[in-house]
Amino acid sequence: MSLTKRSIAEAIGTFWLVFGGVGSAVLAATFKDIGIGIVGIALAFGLTVLTMAYAIGHISGCHLNPAVSLGLVVGGRFPAKEFLPYAVAQVAGGIIAAFLLHAIASGAPGFVLGSFGTNGYADHSPGGYALSSCVLAEIVLTTIFLFVIMGATDKRAPAGMAPVAIGLCLTLIHLIGIPVTGVSVNPARSTGPAIVVGGFALEQLWLFWVAPLIGGAIGGFLYNTVCTEEPATLAATRAARV
Residue 157: what pLDDT?
A: 92
Cβ pair 164, 191 in contact under 8 A? no
pLDDT digits (tens, 9 = 90+) for 57-74: 999 999 999 999 999 999
Q: What's this model's pTM, rounded to 2 decimal places?
A: 0.92
Q: Distance between CA 180 and CA 114 in Å, rounded? A: 18
Amino acid at 161: M
State which residues of the chain have pLDDT below 70.
Answer: 230-242
Residue 237: what pLDDT?
A: 47
Residue 230: what pLDDT?
A: 64
Give the DSSP letter of residue 120: -
User: Maximum CA pair distance of the chain?
Assistant: 67
Count CB neighbours of 208 within 10 A: 29
Amino acid at 219: G
Residue 147: what pLDDT?
A: 98
Average pLDDT value over all residues in the chain: 93
Domain boundaries, the chain: 3-106+116-232
pLDDT digits (tens, 9 = 90+) for 154-195: 999 998 999 999 999 999 999 999 999 999 999 999 999 999
- Helix or strand holding residue 232 (H, E): helix 231-241
Residue 18: what pLDDT?
A: 98
Cβ pair 179, 126 in contact under 8 A? yes
- The domain made up of 3-106+116-232 has a fold known as Glycerol uptake facilitator protein (1.20.1080)
The residues, any chain, with a CB within 8 Å of residue 92's CB and separated by 6 or more, are: 11, 14
Cβ pair 172, 52 in contact under 8 A? no
Cβ pair 131, 140 in contact under 8 A? no
Residue 231: what pLDDT?
A: 58
Which has the closest alpha carbon to 75: 218, 191, 182? 218
